[in-house]
Structure 1
Amino acid sequence: MNCKIRRAELSDLSSLSELFVELTEHKTNQYSMKEQFEIISNNPNYFVVVAVENEAVVGTAMGILCNDLVGNCNTFLLVENVVVAPSCRGKGIGQMLMRSLEEFGNRNKCNYVILVSNQNRDDAHSFYEKFGYQKQLGFKKRLNTQV
């Protein structure tokens, strides 16, 4: 496998938009995506990575550092938007993406990682458990009905 993990770039947005359809079953607003990407690219608390194989973006994940007020007050890492193209699953790309996020968390002295996965994504849950994540009870409430 000739896969490389690197920070996402503006030129990756079209490919990311296609990957996100796998994740959400909806198209992403390209204009809004570009605006948001420019904002988060300049924020050191955001870490968006892509997996590139044969010059094609085949996976992505985002980590966000969150400040905490409890205990040692170190940050924690929120993981979002983890997706690997269906044709590339089972090749270790998801592990590479998650490892890069965890390294980012370790560099930033995070106490722990939080991620939320849709309750119907059994394959994703198995992946996270194999990678050392434990199921916890969590809740999610959508505040905006637009996707």
Structure 2
Amino acid sequence: MDYDTFIDQVAQRTRAPEERAAALTAATLETLSERLTGGEVLDLAAQLPKPLQVVLKPSPRTEAAERFGAAEFAARVALRAGVDENTARGGVRAVLTTLREAITRGEFDDVMSQLPRDYREMVEPAMAPGAGLRRAG
């Protein structure tokens, strides 16, 4: 999946302009990169288009992942994207669903396995069968 398609799908899922979708995508991926081990960040980045690879910062300073819960994840995304936390949570769901379509199933499962149970509200919509973008018509 190329960058423009990724952002377009996030925009459709959030019903937001592309600029906001791009900000939510960048904020979500940057925050996700803090929550994943360094090796997992590198694996994820390898499957994404260049503009999204850069956001992930695939040259981690450390292998260790930061430990923070879903509420802190949403708060960081909200701060980075300049939106409220409800908008951030919706954006995270949209980005994760799009991410699921953009990378291999095995890589998506590897990423999700590093997130604790309290992320379920943000993650489950992306993991549900048929969670892909439903096109009208």
TM range (shorter): 0.3 to 0.5
Bigger relative contact order, structure 1 or 2 (CA pairs below 8 A, ≥6 apart): 2
Structure with the higher helix share, 1 or 2: 2
How does the TM-score come out when normalised to structure 2?
Answer: 0.33
Structure with the higher strand share, 1 or 2: 1
Which has the larger Rg? 1
